[in-house]
A = this chain, B = another copy of it.
Amino acid sequence: MKTITSIADIQKELLVHKQNGKKIGFVPTMGFLHEGHEQLLTVARKENDIVVLSIFVNPLQFGENEDLDKYPRDYERDEAVARKNDVDYIFYPSVQEMYPESPSVTIKVNQRTDVMCGKSRPGHFDGVATVVTKLFHIVQPDQAYFGLKDAQQVAVIEGLVKDLNFPITIKRVSIIREEDGLAKSSRNVYLSAEEREEAKQLFASLVLASKKIVEGERNPDQIISLIKQHIEMTTSGKIDYIEIYEYPTLNKIDILQGQIIIAIAVAFTSARLIDNKILIVE
């Protein structure tokens, strides 16, 4: 495993592999790797000859009220995780390397942003799309891996790749869950014992909703009410949103049909949890 900090160096290394016809899988991250990232690396390892992990805390995707400096970092631990997961290259550039000056162009995300978590983070996805574009051009992967825990990010990236014709395949990787269904998250440790017990109800409510849809319900409002009722009855959390859209366009729908996402966010005392389920409705 090699750690590379310079754009020119990683391009030189990867060019050799590309010329040898190797398939390159790419997992872009902001570091502080957890099981979700390991899942991405596991899938990438299975499907590619070369696995590249990038670690870069991207200033462009932080809002004015979001504390970039407080974002957790632990490069040594990340390196150990990467090694354990058989990564070939860590691309670990500095801010200076990625943004030597204020960029003269950026990506503007015009759709898929003003819903779900994006509503409260104006400009966030512009920053994400800009750094992902840069990283895609630097690494030139065949396939790039994103976790469905952040389903809105996956939707934005799929739009980026499709609408700007990137020659890259985006691979969606499923949410990994605890035994009781709670989506794994580094925030789960902030839950009290009682809240942790309640938190499994987020997934339970999504399962309940899916069943109702399988049984024939096609009215999104009915499904939203059902989830709302379930979460309110079984948890002490405060519902931030329960939303249903066509996926990945995140367009509103009146009738449940095609590929859809049910997305929820619930605030507990010290942790706001998100979860979602993507399903195809015949």
Query: CB < 8 Å: which of B21, B102, B107 contacts A108?
Result: B107
Check B104 against A159 for contact (C-beta < 8 Å).
Answer: yes
| Majority DSSP secondary structure for residues of A touching B | mixed
A171, B111: Cα distance in complex, Å: 34
Q: Which residues of B contact A106 (CB under 8 A)?
A: 107-108, 110
A189 at the interface (CB under 8 A from B): no
A165: contacting residue among B21, B129, B134, B165, CB under 8 A: B134
Whole-angstrom distance between the alpha carbons of A102 and B110 in the complex? 9
Asked if A210 lies at the interface with its beta carbon under 8 angstroms from chain B, I say no
Tell me if B163 and A105 are in contact (CB < 8 A): yes
B109 touches A138 (CB 8 A): no
Let me know if A137 is at the binding interface, CB within 8 A. yes
Residue from B11, B21, B167 in contact with A140 in the complex, judged by beta carbons closer than 8 Å: B167
A133 sits at the interface (CB 8 A): yes
A103 touches B107 (CB 8 A): no
A160 within 8 A of B: yes
Within residues 124 to 139 of chain A, which ones have a CB less than 8 A from any CB in chain B?
A: 126, 129-130, 133-134, 137-138
* Contact of A107 with B110 at beta-carbon distance under 8 Å, contacts A7-B165, A134-B164, A138-B165 already known: no
Digitize A128-161: 1 where CB-to-B-CB distance is under 8 Å, 0 elsewhere.
0110011001101000000000000000100110
Instruction: Select from chain B the residue with minimum beta-carbon distance to A159.
Output: B104
- Beyond A102-B111, A106-B108, 14 additional pairs, beta carbon < 8 A: A103-B110, A103-B163, A103-B164, A104-B109, A104-B159, A105-B156, A105-B163, A105-B164, A107-B107, A108-B108, A134-B164, A134-B165, A137-B164, A138-B167
